């Protein structure tokens, strides 16, 4: 990750509505290069929805999300990587073919180096359908390295990873922010990454939600 | 128009409005339909060529007109859902679909009953009947899509897209059915109705058409009201579930 | 462009690897055509007269069998999320996937049609026209199926619902597709006017259907 990232991400007054219920509203934060945001809160408070909104996968009930990067006109979603509960892994393609497709589609990147990040090189030729849950997750996370993008949206990235891999992931997030990237992570286990900001979605009752301001430095 | 539509965007205000209008609309529908039926069955003379069967026209033509009117309404509501994001647009479309389908069905049945003495068979693949049948299938698709999607927001938007796709397709379908029809049944089809209609037949037809239209608006308002209330019940239940989850259930 | 090609190439690879999909569609096509004469009677004159229509109707049904897979698998495993975040606009993603469906389903079906035409006593000299008409008309089939597939994404009984939504929209394709072949079989008209209409419908579908499909995909995200 030698490409220095310069993107910033700004959310202003965003609100989320699922099935007619407001999960949160009037949420604002701004993240500059090298900053990491930890999103906390119990189940059902909207952590996943927030991630998906930033990724452009869910409509905003109110507010705006803006990302500015090297290219001013690129939509926010195109600067983001989203790794959620689903791995986006094709079981009938091999490990390498999975990553090669993503570099072809998203643009990028060094497949071999990305395979090495989580130690998938020895199983590169195997059909992804044969992988364990943890290995599939590592393959999903390898996408982050195969196609460099400045903003990482990681929703419970440590699920089904072993201790060593969680450590490797923490290190990767640290490296990413050091290179000027932004990371927004929701997690229930402590990750050894240096989070510059924390957002607790459970802090307020959803109906009397104030603004959860995270000031830019 | 714009004022009243934005004014009614608030569901509560709409419920009040519907509650106030429904009784008088119901009265108007009864009067118009009563008068229309009396004119159709007792006043209008039998046609010199078609005899008493011409009276089916007084049901058939208004049904066919409302079948198309309801689809246009659904398509416009679809625009309302997708473009103007009017909060009641998908309620309007959802409420109109079964009513429109019923009128389409009525038009099909009366058309085939009318056809029996004229064509000697209940069904011919006449261009108008066939287009009507396709319209009926499109209605069924819309209703099925609403039934299949539980979340009202997604259901509304998906149905709006399907309705607009259908609206773009209907002229193409109509045109191609005409092509197909002339290819297979050259000039043997007896045209329903003529280029000119005698005023003794026109008056009952107009009254019936007005009566049907008022009936449609009435049914539409009632169905919209029911749908809004159904959604409120759903939202209340969801709040209950969410509160139960917070207290550790 | 490279992104679209990567997507199409991957979908084709998946269709061949996940096996079955193409074979089932071809087998279904064969079975439908094979049982039709039992209902219609063995009169060869009659069969050759109805052959164009039967071949087209059965092709539509066979193509629909695999249509709900256009987006379904990518939706289930989260791939669709990532596809929307790429450099391609969503309508282009939808168009690429519909095109892949055309290549992996409709083209094999159209190539099988001549064999089935022989079963139905379709005059040999009309067979090139049959294949040509099917190749020209089936892009509309795949692209309109893409709308249905995106509307029914993640729903229960999506395959049946998809057929219910989409088959009425196939009426124009069917009419002009059959007219093209019928004109060559029984006359009297020239096959080219309906053929050109068929091309027009396909071209229009290829432009417009992805827009509707993309809009429907947006509604499916959870």
Q: Which of C168, C172, C212 sits opposite B137 (nearest CB)?
A: C168
Averaged over B158-184, what is the pLDDT? 84
What per-residue confidence (pLDDT) applies to B42?
86
Q: Domain coordinates of chain A in residue numbers?
A: 8-90+147-208
pLDDT band at C18 (very low <50, low <70, confident <90, very high): confident
Read off the pLDDT of residues C37-88 as tens digits, 9 standing for 90 and up.
Answer: 888 877 888 888 899 999 999 999 999 988 988 999 999 999 999 999 988 9
Averaged over C201-211, what is the pLDDT? 95
Contact C221 A58 (CB under 8 A): yes
Question: Computed over its alpha carbons, how large is the radius of gyration of chain A?
Answer: 17
What per-residue confidence (pLDDT) applies to C184?
83
Burial class (CB in 10 A: 0-12, 13-18, 19+), C82: buried
How far apart are alpha carbons C32 and C12 in whole angstroms? 26
pLDDT band at B114 (very low <50, low <70, confident <90, very high): confident
The first and second tokens of residue B4, run together, are 């009243």
What per-residue confidence (pLDDT) applies to A73?
57
Helix (H, G, I), strand (E, B) or coil at A160: coil
Contact C13 A93 (CB under 8 A): yes
Helix (H, G, I), strand (E, B) or coil at C134: helix
Q: In what order do the strands lie in the sheet with A21-31?
A: A21-31, A8-18, A62-68
Contact B169 C172 (CB under 8 A): yes
The first and second tokens of residue C184, run together, are 């060559």
Q: Could you give the percent of chain C with pLDDT greater than 90?
A: 64
Averaged over B231-242, what is the pLDDT? 78
Q: Which of C165, C169, C201 sits opposite B145 (nearest CB)?
A: C165
How far apart are alpha carbons B191 and C199 in whole angstroms? 32
- Residue C178 above 90 pLDDT? yes
Omega cis (within 30) before C206: no
Averaged over B27-50, what is the pLDDT? 86
Contact B164 C212 (CB under 8 A): yes
Q: Domain coordinates of chain B in residue numbers?
A: 23-185+202-244
Contact B238 A21 (CB under 8 A): yes
Indicate which of C8, C15, C78 best probes the interface with A, i.e. most A CBs within 10 Å of its own CB. C78
Q: Which of A117-126, C148-157, C202-211 has the highest mean pLDDT?
A: C202-211
Contact A181, A4 (CB under 8 A): no
How far apart are alpha carbons B180 and A139 in whole angstroms? 55
Q: Which positions in chain C touch B175 (Cβ < 8 Å)?
A: 172
pLDDT band at C144 (very low <50, low <70, confident <90, very high): very high
What per-residue confidence (pLDDT) applies to B226?
94
pLDDT, averaged across chain C: 91
How far apart are alpha carbons A147 and A214 in whole angstroms? 29
Closest chain B residue by Cα to residue C171: B173
Q: Is the ipTM, as predicted for this complex, more than 0.95?
A: no
Q: Could you give the percent of chain B with pLDDT greater than 90?
A: 41
End-to-end CA distance of chain C: 28
Instruction: Count CA atoms closer than 13 A to A175's CA, side-chain side.
Output: 13
| Angle between helix C127-151 and C90-101 (nearest 10) | 140
Residue that the structure tokens 């089935």 belong to: C116
Give the least confident one: B6-15, B127-136, B153-162, C140-149.
Answer: B6-15
Q: Which of B137, B145, B168 sits opposite C151 (nearest CB)?
A: B145
List CB contacts of B179: < 8 A, sequence separation 6 or more. Answer: C175, C176, C179, C194, C197
Omega cis (within 30) before B43: no
CB atoms within 10 A of CB B51: 10
Read off the pLDDT of residues C93-102 as tens digits, 9 standing for 90 and up.
Answer: 999 999 999 9
What per-residue confidence (pLDDT) applies to B107?
92
Q: Domain coordinates of chain C in residue numbers?
A: 2-220
Averaged over B8-14, what is the pLDDT? 81
Instruction: Count CA atoms closer than 13 A to C39's CA, side-chain side.
Output: 7
Read off the pLDDT of residues B178-207 as tens digits, 9 standing for 90 and up.
Answer: 787 766 544 333 444 444 566 777 888 899
Ranges under pLDDT 50 in chain A: 1-2, 204-217
Q: Which positions in chain B touch A21 (Cβ < 8 Å)?
A: 235, 238-239, 242
The CATH class for the domain spanning A8-90+147-208 reads alpha beta
pTM: 0.82
């Amino acid at each position: 990750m030698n490409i220095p990232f310069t993107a910033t991400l700004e959310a202003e007054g965003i609100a989320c509505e699922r099935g007619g219920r407001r999960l949160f509203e009037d949420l604002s934060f701004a993240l500059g290069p090298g900053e990491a945001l930890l999103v906390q809160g119990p189940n059902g408070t909207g952590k996943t929805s927030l991630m998906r909104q930033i990724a452009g996968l869910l409509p905003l009930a109110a507010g705006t999300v803006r990302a500015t990067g090297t290219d001013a006109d690129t939509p926010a979603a195109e600067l983001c990587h989203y790794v959620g509960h689903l791995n986006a892994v094709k079981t009938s393609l091999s490990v390498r073919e999975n990553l090669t497709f993503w570099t072809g589609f998203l643009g990028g990147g060094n497949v071999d180096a990305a395979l090495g990040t989580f130690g998938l090189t020895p199983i590169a030729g195997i059909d992804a359908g044969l992988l364990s849950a943890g290995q599939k997750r590592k393959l999903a996370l390898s996408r982050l390295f195969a196609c460099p993008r400045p903003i990482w949206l990681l929703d419970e990235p440590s699920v089904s990873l072993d201790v060593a891999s969680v450590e490797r992931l923490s290190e990767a997030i640290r490296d990413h922010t050091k290179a000027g990237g932004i990371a927004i992570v929701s997690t229930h286990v402590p990750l050894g990454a240096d989070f510059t900001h924390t957002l607790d979605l459970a802090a307020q009752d959803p109906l009397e939600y104030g603004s959860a301001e995270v000031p830019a430095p | 128009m714009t004022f009243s539509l934005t004014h009614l965007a608030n569901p509560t205000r709409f419920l009040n409005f519907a509650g106030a209008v429904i009784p008088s609309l119901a009265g108007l529908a009864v009067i118009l339909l009563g008068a229309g039926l009396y004119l159709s069955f007792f006043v209008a003379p039998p046609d010199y060529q078609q005899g008493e069967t011409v009276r089916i026209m007084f049901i058939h033509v208004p049904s066919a007109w409302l079948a198309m009117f309801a689809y246009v309404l659904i398509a416009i509501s679809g625009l309302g859902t997708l473009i103007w994001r009017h909060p009641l647009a998908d309620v309007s479309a959802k409420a109109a679909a079964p009513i429109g389908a019923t009128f389409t069905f009525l038009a099909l049945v009366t058309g085939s009953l009318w056809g029996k003495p004229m064509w000697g068979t209940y069904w011919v693949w006449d261009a108008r009947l066939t287009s009507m049948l396709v319209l009926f299938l499109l209605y069924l698709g819309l209703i099925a899509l609403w039934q299949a999607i539980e979340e009202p927001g997604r259901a509304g938007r998906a149905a709006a897209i399907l309705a607009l796709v259908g609206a773009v397709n209907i002229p193409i379908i109509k045109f191609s059915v005409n092509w197909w029809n002339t290819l297979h049944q050259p000039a043997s089809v007896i045209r329903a109705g003529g280029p000119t209609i005698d005023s003794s037949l026109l008056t009952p037809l107009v009254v019936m058409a007005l009566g049907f239209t008022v009936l449609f608006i009435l049914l539409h308002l009632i169905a919209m009201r029911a749908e809004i209330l159904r959604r409120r019940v759903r939202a209340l239940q969801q709040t209950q579930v969410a509160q139960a989850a917070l207290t550790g259930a | 462009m490279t992104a679209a090609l990567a997507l199409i190439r991957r979908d084709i690879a998946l269709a061949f690897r996940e096996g079955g999909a193409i074979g089932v569609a071809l087998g279904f096509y064969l079975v439908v055509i094979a049982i039709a004469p039992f209902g219609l009677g063995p009169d060869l004159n009659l069969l050759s007269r109805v052959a164009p229509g039967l071949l087209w109707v059965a092709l539509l049904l066979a193509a629909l069998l695999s249509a709900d897979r256009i987006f379904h698998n990518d939706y289930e495993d989260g791939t669709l999320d990532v596809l929307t975040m790429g450099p391609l606009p969503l309508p282009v993603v939808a168009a690429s996937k519909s095109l892949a469906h055309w290549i992996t389903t409709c083209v094999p079906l159209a190539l099988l049609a001549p064999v089935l035409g022989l079963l139905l006593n379709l005059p040999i000299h009309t067979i090139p026209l049959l294949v040509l008409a099917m190749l020209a008309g089936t892009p509309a089939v795949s692209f309109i199926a893409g709308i249905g597939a995106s509307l029914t994404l993640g729903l229960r009984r999506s395959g049946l619902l998809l057929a219910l939504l989409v088959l009425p929209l196939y009426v124009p394709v069917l009419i002009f597709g059959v007219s093209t072949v019928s004109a060559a079989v029984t006359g009297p008209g020239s096959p080219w006017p309906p053929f050109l209409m068929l091309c027009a419908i396909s071209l229009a579908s290829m432009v417009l259907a992805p827009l509707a499909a993309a809009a429907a995909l947006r509604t499916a995200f959870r």
